[in-house]
Structures are given as structure tokens and as C-alpha cells.
Chains A and B, each alone.
Chain A
Amino acid sequence: AQSVAQPEDQVNVAEGNPLTVKCTYSVSGNPYLFWYVQYPNRGLQFLLKYITGDNLVKGSYGFEAEFNKSQTSFHLKKPSALVSDSALYFCAVLSGAGSYQLTFGKGTKLSVIP
């Protein structure tokens, strides 16, 4: 069975500082990894994905994520946080070809303090 862990319920960061939101995963095959963001009373918006290739993936709104196979991690990063980045962030995994079920972590609330 596949699973995703987001060890931090909340991350606080000052505006302009770098941010990291952590994610680790467990799958039986090659992982396909995604990050989504959710604003209050809204659906999820896609940020970026890792399929194969470069371990550093760049996505929307200046976000990037680093895939680390040995640590089974896929941490979300941004060099300089904005107040508008405050939201709920979800990491998700697909467990290889033929799997259509996205498994999500429980989410991390990011608060960027002005």
C-alpha cells in the first residue's frame, strides 16, 4: 500500500525567508509525486510533479521540490516566501504505471508572517 507523510501540521515563516514543507512517501514501485495547494473554501491547485529525470522539479508560483530516492522524500521549497503563499499544502503519490489512485498526506498549513 502506498502512503504519504507530512510530519508538520503547521509551518511558520517570515516573509522573504526561504520555506520548506516536508513530505516522505512509501510505495512499492516507482513513485510519481505531486504537490497541491488549497486555499480556504477552494479545491486543490496543482503546483508541480516529479515523474522521472532531474531530482529538482520547478513548478508554479516559484515553487520547486527536491526528490530524494534514498530518503524517500519530496520536500517543497521556495527561496523567498510571500504572504500570499499562506495556504494548505498537500503532497500526493501515485504508485507507478496503471495506478490511478492519488494518495494524499494530511496536509501542512503554511503561514507566512509579514
Chain B
Amino acid sequence: TQLLEQSPQFLSIQEGENLTVYCNSSSVFSSLQWYRQEPGEGPVLLVTVVTGGEVKKLKRLTFQFGDARKDSSLHITAAQPGDTGLYLCAGAGSGGYNKLIFGAGTRLAVHP
């Protein structure tokens, strides 16, 4: 069974601080996605990483896929209150269409 473990589960920081969220597995994924979910809404895709070692940047957010495609990290620089939400990683298997396996999420609160 493929599992994705996210850490930390909860993170409470002040505006302007940097943070890193981790997503780890013992399984290899063909791709990995990061979603952000705000209260009362569904998850919204932030990025998809496909190649081992790949780094993608989205403004103040930097996403990295591990070389072995088993893990990923999300780094936020100078966090803002608007970054508050639940961050979910999701992995896709290889070959054909495969369902996504979601991690439990990291709940981030950024205080002004």
C-alpha cells in the first residue's frame, strides 16, 4: 500500500518567517502534486512535479521532488497571512491512469 506522510501536521508562525513542509514515502511516484485547501473549500492544485530532482517556483513557494521520486518538499519564503490553509501532497503511481494518494496534510497558520 502506498502511503504519503506529511510533516509537520501543524505549523503556527508569524508573518515574514520561512517554513518548509515535507512529504515522504517509501514508494516511488510517477508524479507528485501539492494542493492548498482553504476553510470551506475544496483543494486547489498548486503544482505538479514529475522529474526526480525537479524544482519549481511559484512566487514565494518553492517545490522540490526528490531524486528518487519518493519525497517532496514545499518551502515558503516570507510567509503571509494569505498563505494560511491546509497543504496536501498527493502522489500518482506509474503506468496508465492511477488514482492519487493523498497525505494527511499540514495545517499552516500565519499570524500578522
Tell whether A and B belong to one assembly.
no
